[in-house]
């Protein structure tokens, strides 16, 4: 879930790709390159809503009130990874700077 701001909307329309990264204090890193697009399908929106709204879910959905997936600020950006790169700190210690990578076929 994310806000669908005018700037983000224009960016995704012109360049539908995003990179996500993770860094740990141990200096391990993960970079994920993805194709991105706004979800419009009501069934998929409901599925995402249900994941977040579950008692063990990932967020407080109360700000959306009874409107749920129809709320004007409820948006889902679908990310489809096409490349994942992992670089672990213990590799650096061994002098190995070659990341482990995965690429989607095709």
State the pLDDT at residue 51.
Answer: 87
Residue 77: name the closest of 33, 47, 45, 30 by CA. Answer: 45
DSSP secondary structure string for all residues of 66-82: GGGGGSTT---EEEEEE
**What is the C-alpha to C-alpha distance for residues 18 and 34, in angstroms, rounded to an integer?**
5
- The model scores a pTM over 0.85: no
pLDDT band at 12 (very low <50, low <70, confident <90, very high): very high
Tell me how far the alpha carbon of residue 56 is from its chain's centroid: 19
- Decide: helix, strand or coil at residue 27: coil
Q: d(Cα 27, Cα 25) in Å, to the nearest integer?
A: 5
**Mean pLDDT value across the chain:** 91
Average pLDDT of the residues in 9-36: 95
pLDDT at 26: 87
């Amino acid at each position: 879930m994310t806000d669908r701001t005018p700037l983000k909307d224009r960016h995704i329309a012109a360049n539908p790709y995003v990179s996500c990264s993770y860094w740990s204090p141990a200096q391990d890193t993960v970079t994920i390159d993805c194709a991105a697009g706004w979800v419009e399908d009501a069934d998929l929106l409901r599925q995402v809503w249900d994941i977040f709204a579950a008692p063990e879910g990932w967020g407080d959905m109360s700000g959306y009130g009874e409107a749920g997936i129809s709320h004007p600020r409820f948006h889902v950006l679908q990310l489809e990874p096409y490349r994942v790169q992992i670089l672990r700190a213990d590799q650096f210690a061994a002098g190995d700077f070659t990341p482990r990578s995965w690429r989607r076929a095709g």
